[in-house]
């Protein structure tokens, strides 16, 4: 599936949810607490860039504003992004994104804007305490803004749904790392795009359908062990006991980056001559691997 088709499909899915009466809560930073938003009855949806967004609104932004900030702001200034009931900005990303939330409030006072700050220190008890307080405050702000209280039942359903989607995508990532030819990177990207845009039941069904079709022949050959061990190693962030990848004569690449969408990477490599999707065995992108392998929530946390 082509890049424009992937984007159009995910955008249409979001529009369909809005038409069906779902309330969409947009977010910018990839490590967003999806389950908290869902516990308040929202469908969290990544606010993505638009190739059709035009500039011309830079007077409202700092001179050092990045292209992502300019694109999002231009979309809103052009009358877009009104599909979202609210948008959440992160308080500890780059300088541009840190400040644009406040500029947004000033420029568009009718919008509901939220700010969620993540701990930047080394993980520890103080970081956990800080994040817990931030999540409680964020939940309370949602309740005050929309008069919708936190639902423990919806939260449990959200944790189960998001965890199962992530688990399926983690398995697909791990299988590709060993045998990238069994699954096109663009196909994996399509599923990730769907998850980021709308973590709903139909997204899970799409993930499970592809996972089943990929894993059945592997399971029949009793060759699923390496991928499973690799997934566990990724989750533990310890690859010391992972056995070497199968020998290959083709180029094998790991793509490392920040807030880059996998669909954008997929489009880029599709336009490179003499380059195959099979060459990419893994991405370490914020909107890809880093989000998919975010640890799942537990009810004891």
Element (H, E) at 86: strand 86-90
pLDDT tops 90 at residue 252: no
Q: Are 42 and 85 in contact (CB under 8 A)?
A: yes
Q: How confident is the model at residue 301 (pLDDT cuts 50, 70, 90)?
A: very low
The token pair that represents 116 in the structure block: 């969620």
pLDDT value of position 273? 83
pLDDT value of position 24? 96
Q: What is the pLDDT of residues 171-227, one digit of tens each?
A: 999 999 888 888 999 999 999 999 999 999 999 999 999 999 998 777 655 555 788
Q: What is the pLDDT of residues 132-167, one digit of tens each?
A: 999 999 999 999 999 999 999 999 999 999 999 999
pLDDT value of position 3? 44
Find tokens 């983690």 and name the residue.
170
All structural domains of the chain, each given as residue ranges with its CATH number in brackets, are 3-150 (3.40.50.11890), 154-292 (no CATH)
**Rounded distance between C-alpha atoms, residue 169 and residue 172, angstroms:** 5
Q: How confident is the model at residue 276 (pLDDT cuts 50, 70, 90)?
A: confident
> In b/e form, how buried is each residue of 65-104, taking b as 16+ CB within 10 angstroms?
bbebbbbbbbbbbeeebeebbbbbbbeebbebbbbbbebb
Average pLDDT over residues 235-241: 88
Q: Which of 104-118, 144-158, 278-292 has the highest mean pLDDT?
A: 144-158
Q: Are 15 and 83 in contact (CB under 8 A)?
A: yes
Q: What is the pLDDT of residues 2-58, one digit of tens each?
A: 445 544 556 777 888 888 888 999 998 888 999 999 999 999 999 988 877 666 555
Average pLDDT over residues 69-75: 83
φ, ψ for residue 253, nearest 5 deg: -125, 145
**Rounded distance between C-alpha atoms, residue 42 and residue 34, angstroms:** 9
Query: What pTM was computed for the model?
Result: 0.87
pLDDT value of position 101? 83
pLDDT tops 90 at residue 69: no
């Amino acid at each position: 599936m082509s890049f424009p088709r992937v984007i159009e499909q995910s955008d249409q899915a979001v529009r369909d949810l809005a038409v069906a009466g779902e309330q969409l809560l947009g977010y910018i930073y990839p490590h967003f607490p999806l389950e908290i938003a869902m516990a308040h009855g929202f469908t969290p949806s990544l606010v993505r860039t638009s190739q059709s967004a035009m500039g011309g609104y830079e007077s409202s932004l700092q001179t050092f504003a990045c292209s992502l900030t300019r694109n999002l702001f231009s979309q809103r200034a052009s009358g877009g992004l009104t599909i979202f009931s609210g948008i959440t900005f992160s308080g500890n990303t780059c300088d541009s994104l840190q400040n644009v939330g406040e500029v947004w409030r000033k420029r568009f006072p009718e919008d509901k804007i939220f700010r969620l700050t993540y701990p930047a220190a080394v993980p520890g008890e103080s970081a956990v305490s800080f994040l817990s307080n931030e999540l409680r405050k964020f939940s309370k702000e949602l309740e005050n803004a929309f008069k919708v209280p936190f639902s423990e039942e919806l939260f449990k359903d959200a944790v189960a749904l998001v965890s199962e989607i992530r688990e399926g995508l983690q398995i697909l990532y791990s299988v590709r790392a060993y045998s990238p030819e069994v699954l096109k990177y663009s196909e994996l990207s399509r599923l990730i795009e769907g998850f980021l845009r709308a973590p709903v039941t139909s997204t899970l069904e799409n993930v499970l359908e592809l996972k089943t079709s990929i894993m059945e022949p592997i399971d029949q050959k009793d060759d699923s062990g390496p991928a499973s061990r690799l997934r566990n190693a990724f989750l533990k962030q310890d690859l010391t006991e992972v056995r070497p990848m199968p020998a290959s004569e083709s180029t094998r690449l790991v793509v490392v980056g920040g807030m880059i969408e996998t669909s954008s990477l997929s489009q880029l490599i599709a336009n490179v001559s003499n380059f195959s999707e099979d060459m990419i065995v893994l991405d370490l992108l914020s909107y890809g691997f880093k989000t998919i392998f975010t640890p799942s929530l537990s009810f004891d946390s």
